[in-house]
Amino acid sequence: MITQSAAGDSRAAEAAKEMAWEQLHSGPWHSVVPIWRDAYAMACLYVAKIHYSSGEFNLALKALDMGLIMGGFTLRDDLNLCIGKVSSALRGEAFSDNGESRRNSQWRMDLNMAEVRVINCKLRLYECMNNFDAKYLKVLRLLPVKSLSCKTVGKKSSLSLEGFLQDHLISGFPVIISNSMTHWPAKDRWNDMNYLKKVAGFRTVPVEVGKNYLCSEWKQELITFSEFLERIQSNDCSNADMSYLAQHQLFEQIQELKQDIVIPDYCFVGGGEMRSINAWFGPPGTVTPLHHDPHHNILAQVVGRKYIRLYPASISEELYPHSETMLSNSSQVDLDNIDDKEFPKVLDLEFVDCILEEGEMLYIPPKWWHYVRSLTTSFSVSFWWSDAPNSPDS
C-alpha cells in the first residue's frame, strides 16, 4: 500500500526531476548551468529510491540511468553504487541484505551523502562553468595537410608510438592501425549478443532513430539495451526506423562494458588530454553524415566493418558547412545523393577513403571531415583527445 507521505515524496521527487529536466532543455547543452545537471541527477536518485522501495526495480534502474546519461558528474559514484544494488535486485541476487528497513536506511545514507556533496560542490561548479566556456571557445589552428595523391588510407600493422607521433599526429594525416586491439576483451565478447544482453540488457540507453541526424524525421528514444539488441537482430531496419546507439558515453554509464575496452596508448603520445570515449553500435546501413570534430580521434572497430570517407580540414569551405551554429560542423552535402547543381564543387574534391575492418583502428586528425556508413552490424568505439595545453596547436 502506498501511504500518503510516500505518494507526496514521489510527487515531490518527480516534480524536482521535471524542473531540472526543463532547465537542461532550456538552451544549447553547453550553456546549461552545471548545477542543474547535478540537480537532475539528485532528483533521479530520489525517484529511483521511491521505485526501489516499492519493488519497481526496472523503473528504479531507468531513473538511475537517466541520471547517468543527463546528470552531472558530482553524483556519478552514488548513481553507480545504486545501480549495482538495483541490478542485483533485478537479477534476484541478494546485494547484502534485502530487508525493507535496511534497504531504506542504506538509501537514506547514500542520499544524505549525495546532498552534502552537491552543496559542497556548488561553488566549485560555478567556477568550472566559467572555465568551461573559455576552453570551448578556443579556436583550433588547422594542421598542415599532405598531398592526397594516395586515395586509400594507409594501413600500418602494430604502428610504433614514435611512428604514430612523427608521421600522423604531428603531420595531421590519417592512418589505419591494425593488430593493436588483439588484447581487448571486447574483441571476443561483443560478437556475442547474449553476452551483451547479460551485461547490459536491463539498462536504458539513448538511441537515434531515422536516416541520420540531419533529417527532419530523426528523433532520439530511450530504450533498454535488450530492446535495442532485438531491433538490431530483427533485420527489418529501413532507413526511416533505423536505430543507432551513436555518440554515447556508454562506458561511463555501464562499468562492465568499460572493462572490455583499452584506451589506446596512441591517445597519450602527444601529452594530450582524453575528452570522451563514445560507443557507436548499430545494424548495417547506419550513416553518420559528413562532419568534423575538434579533437583527435581513434575510431576502433570492434565488431563488423565500416566504409569511411575523409576530406582534409583545409577544404572546409568547399564542403558547404551548414550556417546554423549548432550544425556548422556538418556539411549540407548528402554524400549518398550528391546534388551537383546545388553543390557543384564537391565532385572535384580529393578525398581518402577506406573500409575499416574488424580489429582495426582509424586515426582521424582534428577537423578532418568524415562520413561513416556501416556495412554490417557494427560496434565501434571512438576515443577523442585534445592537444597538450601548451602545444602549438592548442
Ligand X SMILES: O=C(O)CCC(=O)C(=O)O
Is 380 near ligand X (CB under 6 A)?
Answer: yes
Question: Which residue lies nearer to ligand X by CB, 78 or 260?
Answer: 260
Question: Which residue lies nearer to ligand X by CB, 132 or 307?
Answer: 307
Cα 77 to chain centroid, rounded: 19
| Closest distance to ligand X from the beta carbon of 249 (Å) | 13
Is 212 near ligand X (CB under 6 A)?
Answer: no
| Closest distance to ligand X from the beta carbon of 223 (Å) | 19
| Closest distance to ligand X from the beta carbon of 363 (Å) | 11
Cell of 232: 538490431
Count of residues that interact with ligand X, criterion CB under 6 A: 9
Question: Which residue lies nearer to ligand X by CB, 63 or 333?
Answer: 333
Is 87 near ligand X (CB under 6 A)?
Answer: no
Question: Which residue lies nearer to ligand X by CB, 361 or 372?
Answer: 372
Question: Which residue lies nearer to ligand X by CB, 203 or 248?
Answer: 248
The footprint of ligand X on residues 3-32 (CB under 6 A) is: none
| Closest distance to ligand X from the beta carbon of 328 (Å) | 16
Is 370 near ligand X (CB under 6 A)?
Answer: yes
Question: Which residue lies nearer to ligand X by CB, 380 or 386?
Answer: 380
Is 331 near ligand X (CB under 6 A)?
Answer: no
Is 372 near ligand X (CB under 6 A)?
Answer: yes
Cβ atoms 139, 303 nearer than 8 A: no
Binding mask 278-317 for ligand X (x = CB under 6 A): --x-------x----x---x-x------------------
Cβ atoms 195, 256 nearer than 8 A: no
Task: Please name the amino acid found at residue 296.
Answer: H
Question: Which residue lies nearer to ligand X by CB, 44 or 372?
Answer: 372
Question: Which residue lies nearer to ligand X by CB, 35 or 186?
Answer: 186
> Pairing relation of β-strands 296-303 and 287-291?
unpaired
Is 60 near ligand X (CB under 6 A)?
Answer: no
| Closest distance to ligand X from the beta carbon of 100 (Å) | 46
Rounded-to-integer distance, Cα 28 and Cα 275, Å = 19
Contact residues toward ligand X (CB under 6 A) are 280, 288, 293, 297, 299, 370, 372, 380, 382
